[in-house]
Amino acid sequence: MKIDLLFAEIGSTTTVVTAFHNIDGNVKILSQGEHWTTVNEGDVTIGIEKAIARLKEKIGEKNISWSKFAASSSAAGGLKMTVHGLVYDMTVRAAREAALGAGAVIKYVTAGKMDEFHIQKILEIQPKLILLAGGVDYGEKETVIYNAKILSKLELDIPIIYAGNIAAAEHVEYILKSAGKTVFVTENVYPKIDQLNVEPTRNIIKEVFAQHITKAPGMEKIYDIVDYKIHTTPGAVMKTTQLLSEIYGDVLTVDIGGATTDIDSVTEGSVEIQEIMISPEPTAKRTVEGDLGLFVNARNVINLMGEENLREEFPNLSELKERISPYPKSDEDEKFISRLALYCFQQGIRRHVGVKKHIYTPLGRKLVAEGKDLSAVRFLFGTGGFLSRSKYADKVLKSINTLSKLHPMELLPQNEVEIYRDKHYIFAAIGVIATEIDKNIARKILEKNLEKLGG
């Protein structure tokens, strides 16, 4: 049997292959196969082969072939990086937004002039990328030039992106290249006061991230069989969220995985909040919570929730901890995972949003807002193994409609939200199809395979 498109989503925990047929017409998902991601076996292609074997069993065909093969991956984990700017609330925050939107995990942030202490911290972290920013265009440039000299001494062979004051760009590039560093110079992430410009930097980080994911063992073999560029799974899901925004307007996507919880939003926020906003945010924003995951980071989530609290709900907590798996063997196991998922869902969204707060001015107390505003969001989409497949996913997702009542000063969705889920776990595939094949085909598949859960 010949399939039009076979797509492999190689995650940190599981690998899922999806067979798409009649891609140019009334497209149909024939079936899916799934297996553990085989990073520990030293070759991720083992997991792909076993997932394809399960796909064959489901279809009832011993032999299958395909016209095209595409893939996304997050198997090598997030791209560790550090960010260094001038003023935290300006350039550092702007640089951080660009990084989080491209699949990177921020491990260290500095503001102002760096010194040997910062160099030692970077060496301890061993990042795969450094982002240097600072100053509005044609403004202060002494600090970013000073920091370039500090970074030129760093004994790590990793790329450095410069996205700061354009007036210092040539000088910074000269300093870093003279020290043998690989340098990418791009547009300033904060060219003017109250103006963010994250996309040029985000695009470079995406390219570096795409190279980084090939470091997962066996990934180089996949490059020999794919017909398109391998995309990062976080980047592909963000592309799908942007496509959803074109259809629905103000949207929010939550992807709870084995290692991280990723939140993607596309919204400019409400008029009411924009009138009191004191710092800008990009329309499309992604945050990755590297400590919130259901399997790789389950123990960390349990610690954050508090074992004593959990034990009141689950007296046999010790046993449940030992049985944590993306493939729960009992209803009790799945119910326990759903409790962890609820925490990841709510905390991930709360970390993503901004807040309202009171400040005191010469004219008295004033209400202001800062951070990402989700108050205009009307549509929520859940994806990832748990949210796509668990019978408890609707309970987790529907908690969005009570979250703002519990945290009234946070910029959470204010009105009842319509809730959908990615019922076939294909958001990453949709993003790649939209980018590499045809946006209209991707949209058609997307609309056909959303499951409404409430609202």
Q: How far apart, in whole angstroms, are the C-alpha atoms of residue 159 and residue 250?
A: 35
What is residue 252's three-state secondary structure?
strand
Beta strands in 376-427 (DSSP E): 379-383, 418-422
Q: What is the pLDDT of residue 194?
A: 76
Least confident of 71-85, 93-107, 180-194, 251-265: 93-107
Structure tokens at 295: 């399997």
pLDDT at position 351 over 70 = yes
Average pLDDT, the chain: 91
Mean pLDDT (whole number) for 334-360? 95
Mean pLDDT over 322-341 rounds to 94
Instruction: Note the pLDDT tens digit of each residue in 159-171.
Output: 999 999 999 999 9
DSSP code string of 229-277: PPEEHHHHHHHHHHHHHHHHSSEEEEEE-SS-EEEEEE----HHHHTTB
Confidence at residue 34, expressed as pLDDT on a 0 to 100 scale: 95
Question: Is 285 in contact with 253 (CB distance < 8 Å)?
Answer: no
Listed residue (89, 92, 88, 84) closest to 115, CA to CA: 84
Q: What is the mean pLDDT of residues 85-101?
A: 77
| Residue percentage of the chain with pLDDT more than 70 | 97
Parallel, antiparallel, or unpaired for β 450-454 and 418-422? antiparallel
Give the whole-number percent of the chain exceeding pLDDT 90: 71
Question: Is the CB of residue 358 less than 8 Å from the CB of residue 252?
Answer: no
Task: Give the pair of three-digit tokens for residue 161.
Answer: 């992106």
Does 91 score more than 80 pLDDT? no
Q: Tell me, rounded to whole angstroms, the distance of Cα 393 from its chain centroid.
A: 20
DSSP states along 18-52 = EEEESTTSS-EEEEEEEEE--TTTT-HHHHHHHHH
DSSP state of 328: -
Whole-angstrom distance, CA of residue 92 vs CA of residue 110: 8
Half-sphere exposure of residue 159, counting CA atoms within 13 Å on the CB side?
18
Q: Do strands 251-256 and 261-266 pair parallel, antiparallel, or not at all (unpaired)? A: antiparallel
Residue 77 has pLDDT above 70, yes or no: no
Instruction: Give tens-digit pLDDT for 46-67.
Output: 999 999 999 999 999 999 999 9
pTM beyond 0.75: yes
Give yes or no for a contact between 129 and 158, defined as CB atoms under 8 angstroms apart.
Answer: yes
Cα distances from 368 to residues 165, 273, 278, 279, 362, in angstroms, run: 28, 8, 7, 10, 15
Whether pLDDT at 296 is above 90: no
Residue 261's H or E segment, with its range, is strand 261-266
CB-CB contact of 427 with 242 (8 Å)? no
**d(Cα 373, Cα 354) in Å, to the nearest integer?**
6
Task: Give the CA count within 13 Å in the CB-facing half-sphere of 444.
Answer: 14
Task: From residue 334, give the alpha-carbon distance in Å to each of 25, 295, 328, 337, 340.
Answer: 38, 12, 6, 5, 10
Binning pLDDT at 50, 70 and 90, where does residue 210 land? Answer: low
Helix (H, G, I), strand (E, B) or coil at 78: coil
Instruction: Render pLDDT for 258-283 as a digit per residue (tens, 0 to 9).
Output: 888 999 999 999 999 999 998 778 89
Q: Are 147 and 115 within 8 A, CB to CB?
A: no
Instruction: Map tokens 């939107």 to a residue.
Output: 101
* Pairwise pLDDT comparison (78 vs 85), residue with the higher score: 85
As a whole number of angstroms, the distance between CA 293 and CA 291 comes to 6
Using the 8-state DSSP alphabet, how is residue 103 labeled? T
Direct distance between the N- and C-terminal alpha carbons of the chain, in angstroms, rounded to an integer: 41
User: What pLDDT is stored for residue 78 in this prediction?
Assistant: 62
Secondary structure of residue 150 in the 3-state scheme: helix
Confidence of residue 424 (pLDDT cuts 50, 70, 90): very high
Cα pseudo-dihedral 122, 295, 389, 288, rounded to 10: -20
